[in-house]
Every structure is written in structure tokens, then in C-alpha cells.
């Protein structure tokens, strides 16, 4: 019986029932792709500031609005990609990721704002 061999049973449940393990991927490849993807997507909010700085324009408030729009678009696109991978509604998945990402970004912004007030 498979349940008598705990390691094989857990691996089977993770793969067959939950779909969490793929035999084809190596952990180092997954770690590297996650690292690269996180850094590439993490640059998106900074791009408007870099462009404005590169052009010599001192317009931080305008760059902030462009940054918010670019980040929101990135969240939505990442959600669409996730929806395609897990075969769910693309719009719903994009919207859900946008909402969760917006909440996380808002909390991070508010914490940074509060810390700035405390330090000043």
C-alpha cells in the first residue's frame, strides 16, 4: 500500500492531487527564474522616475502617477499570465492580482509615508 511509505505517498499527493510538483523542473532553475522575474517586474515602478531624471525633468509628482499606472498595468498583465497558466478567467485573474497588488502597494506606501513622518 502506498500510504505505508510516507515519502512516496506525500510526493504522490503533492504531484497528483495538488499539482504542486513538476518532475521536469529543477529547483535551481525555478529559483533563478523567480529571481530574474521578480527583479524585472520590480523595475517597472522605477522606470518613470528614471525617464524623468534622464530627461532632466524635475517632476516627481507626475512621475509618481506614471509609476502607479505602469505598476497597475503590470499587476493586471501578471494576473492575466497567471490565469492563462492555471486555465482560469483571464480578466478575473488579472483583476484579482491587480486588487491584491494594489492593496500591498498601498500598505507599503503608507508605511513608508509614516516612517518618513516619524524620522523627520
Count of domains observed in the chain: 1
Other Cβ atoms within 10 Å of 92 Cβ, number: 12
Residue 2 forms part of a structural domain: no
> Which residue do the cell numbers 530627461 mark?
55
Residue 45 forms part of a structural domain: yes
> What local confidence, expressed as pLDDT, does residue 84 receive?
92
What does the pLDDT profile of the chain (120 residues) look like in tens digits?
555 677 777 777 767 666 665 556 678 887 888 899 889 888 999 999 999 999 988 888 899 999 999 999 999 999 999 999 889 999 999 999 999 999 999 999 999 999 999 998
Residue 58 forms part of a structural domain: yes
> What local confidence, expressed as pLDDT, does residue 4 receive?
65
> What local confidence, expressed as pLDDT, does residue 10 receive?
74
Residue 64 forms part of a structural domain: yes
Residue 14 forms part of a structural domain: no
Distance of alpha carbon 107 from alpha carbon 89, whole angstroms: 27
Owning domain of residue 89 = 25-119
Count Cα neighbours of 85 within 13 Å in the Cβ-side half-sphere: 8
Residue 19 forms part of a structural domain: no
Amino acid at each position: 500500500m502506498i500510504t505505508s511509505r510516507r515519502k512516496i505517498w506525500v510526493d504522490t499527493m503533492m504531484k497528483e492531487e495538488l499539482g504542486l510538483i513538476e518532475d521536469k523542473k529543477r529547483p535551481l532553475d525555478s529559483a533563478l527564474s523567480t529571481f530574474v522575474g521578480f527583479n524585472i517586474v520590480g523595475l517597472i515602478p522605477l522606470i518613470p522616475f528614471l525617464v524623468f531624471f534622464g530627461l532632466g525633468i524635475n517632476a516627481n509628482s507626475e512621475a509618481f502617477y506614471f509609476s502607479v499606472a505602469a505598476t497597475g498595468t503590470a499587476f493586471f498583465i501578471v494576473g492575466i499570465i497567471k490565469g492563462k497558466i492555471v486555465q482560469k478567467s483571464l480578466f478575473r485573474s488579472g483583476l484579482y492580482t491587480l486588487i491584491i497588488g494594489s492593496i500591498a502597494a498601498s500598505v507599503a506606501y503608507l508605511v513608508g509615508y509614516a516612517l518618513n513622518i516619524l524620522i523627520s
